[in-house]
Amino acid sequence: MDTKTHPIYNQAGLTFSKFKQLMRGVYTHLTSEELSKLRQVVKKSLADNIYSKNEKEDSITDLTVSTCIILMEELGLRGTSIIALILYRPVVHNSITIEEVKKLFGDDIASIVTGLIKVNDLDMNESAMASDNYIKLLISLAQDMRVILIKIASRLHEIRCAEKYSEQYRMNLTVEISYLYTPLAHKLGLYKIKTEFEDLYLKYTDREAYDYIKGKISESKASRDKYIAEFIAPIDAKLKETGLRYDIKGRVKSISSINNKLKKQKIDFEYIYDLFAIRIILNSSVAKEKAECWQAYSIVTDLYTPNPKRLKDWLSIPKSNGYESLHTTVMGQESRWVEVQIRTRRMDEVAERGLAAHWKYKGVKSQSKMDDWLTGLREMLENKNLESGEKLENFKLDLYEEEIYVFSPKGHLYKLPYGATVLDFAFAIHSRVGSTCVSGMINGRNVSIRHKLRNGDQIEIVTSPNQSPKQDWLNFVTTSKAKNKIRQSLKEEANSQVEIAKESLKRRVKNRKIELNDSLMMRLIRKLGFKTVTDFYIDIANEKLDVNSVIDQYLDMEKKEAETHEKHEAVSAGSYVSYQPKESDKASSRNEELVIDQNLTGVDYKLAKCCNPIYGDEIFGFVSSQGIKIHRKNCPNANDMISRFAYRVIPARWSGKSGSLYTVTMRIIGNDDIGIINNITSIIAKESGVSIRSISIDSKDGLFHGNLSVMLNNTDMLNGLMKKLRTVKGVKEINRLN
Give residue-wise pLDDT tens across range 29-66.
Answer: 777 888 888 888 878 877 777 755 454 545 566 778 88
List Cα–Cα distances, 593 to 600, 661, 665, in angstroms: 11, 12, 21
**Within a 13 Å sphere around the CA of 261, how many CA atoms are in the beta-carbon half?**
16
**Average per-residue pLDDT for the chain:** 78
* Residue 184: other Cβ atoms inside 10 A: 23
Distance CA 490, CA 498 (A): 12
Distance CA 143, CA 61 (A): 26
What's the confidence (pLDDT) of residue 128?
Answer: 36
* Residue 557: other Cβ atoms inside 10 A: 16
Q: Tens of pLDDT along 720-731?
A: 999 899 888 888
Distance CA 25, CA 10 (A): 19
Question: Is the domain defined by 214-362 classed in CATH 3.30.460.10?
Answer: yes
The predicted model gives 238-246 an average pLDDT of: 92
The predicted model gives 15-21 an average pLDDT of: 59
544-552 long-range contacts (CB < 8 A, ≥24 apart) are 547/504, 547/505, 547/508, 548/508, 550/505, 550/524, 551/505, 551/508, 551/509, 551/512, 551/514
Higher-confidence residue of 457 and 584: namely: 457
What's the confidence (pLDDT) of residue 579?
Answer: 32
The predicted model gives 289-315 an average pLDDT of: 90
Q: Tens of pLDDT along 362-390?
A: 443 334 555 566 666 666 555 655 555 55
Distance CA 248, CA 148 (A): 32
Band of pLDDT at residue 175, cut at 50, 70 and 90:
confident
Q: What angle do CA 705, 711, 712 make, to 5 degrees?
A: 120
The Cα diameter of the chain in Å comes to 108
What's the confidence (pLDDT) of residue 584?
Answer: 35
List Cα–Cα distances, 123 to 73, 116, 134, 648, in angstroms: 25, 10, 9, 16
Identify the bridge partners of residue 688 per DSSP, sorted by sequence position. none
Band of pLDDT at residue 340, cut at 50, 70 and 90:
very high
Distance CA 462, CA 451 (A): 13
Identify the bridge partners of residue 251 per DSSP, sorted by sequence position. 277
pLDDT at 10 over 50: no
Q: Tens of pLDDT along 70-106?
A: 888 888 777 788 888 888 888 888 888 899 999 888 8
Higher-confidence residue of 347 and 678: namely: 347
Query: Hey, what amino acid is at 543?
Result: E
The predicted model gives 106-112 an average pLDDT of: 89
Q: pTM score, two decimals?
A: 0.61
pLDDT at 217 over 60: yes
**Within a 13 Å sphere around the CA of 351, how many CA atoms are in the beta-carbon half?**
16
The predicted model gives 504-512 an average pLDDT of: 82
Residue extents of the structural domains in the chain:
3-203, 214-362, 490-572, 592-654, 662-736
Q: With contact defined as beta carbons under 8 Å apart, do 101 and 80 qualify? A: no
701-705 long-range contacts (CB < 8 A, ≥24 apart) are 702/671, 702/672, 703/669, 703/670, 703/671, 703/672, 703/732, 704/668, 704/669, 704/670, 704/671, 704/672, 704/676, 704/677, 705/667, 705/668, 705/669
Residue ranges of the alpha helices (H) in 93-130? 98-105, 107-121
How, if at all, do strands 627-632 and 605-607 pair? parallel
pLDDT at 582 over 70: no
Q: Tens of pLDDT along 389-405?
A: 555 555 555 555 567 77
Nearest to 95 by CA among 56, 52, 57: 52
Fold of 662-736: Alpha-Beta Plaits (3.30.70)
Q: With contact defined as beta carbons under 8 Å apart, do 479 and 424 qualify? A: yes
Distance CA 175, CA 646 (A): 6
What's the confidence (pLDDT) of residue 433?
Answer: 93
Distance in angstroms between the alpha carbons of the first and the last residue of the chain: 59
pLDDT at 702 over 80: no
What's the confidence (pLDDT) of residue 673?
Answer: 74
The predicted model gives 342-349 an average pLDDT of: 90
| The CA-based dihedral angle spanning residues 318, 320, 323, 325, taken in that order and rounded to the nearest 10 degrees | -30
Share of the chain above pLDDT 70, in %: 78
pLDDT at 640 over 60: yes
Q: With contact defined as beta carbons under 8 Å apart, do 80 and 144 qualify? A: no
What's the confidence (pLDDT) of residue 198?
Answer: 92
The predicted model gives 278-300 an average pLDDT of: 93
What's the confidence (pLDDT) of residue 273?
Answer: 65
What's the confidence (pLDDT) of residue 118?
Answer: 77
Q: What angle do CA 715, 719, 725 make, to 5 degrees?
A: 140
Q: Tens of pLDDT along 511-543?
A: 877 877 777 787 788 788 887 777 788 888 877
Fold of 3-203: Hypothetical protein af1432 (1.10.3210)
Q: Tens of pLDDT along 414-464?
A: 878 888 999 999 998 988 999 999 999 987 789 999 999 987 788 999 999
* Residue 144: other Cβ atoms inside 10 A: 20
List Cα–Cα distances, 677 to 673, 685, 699, 728, 730, in angstroms: 8, 12, 12, 10, 10
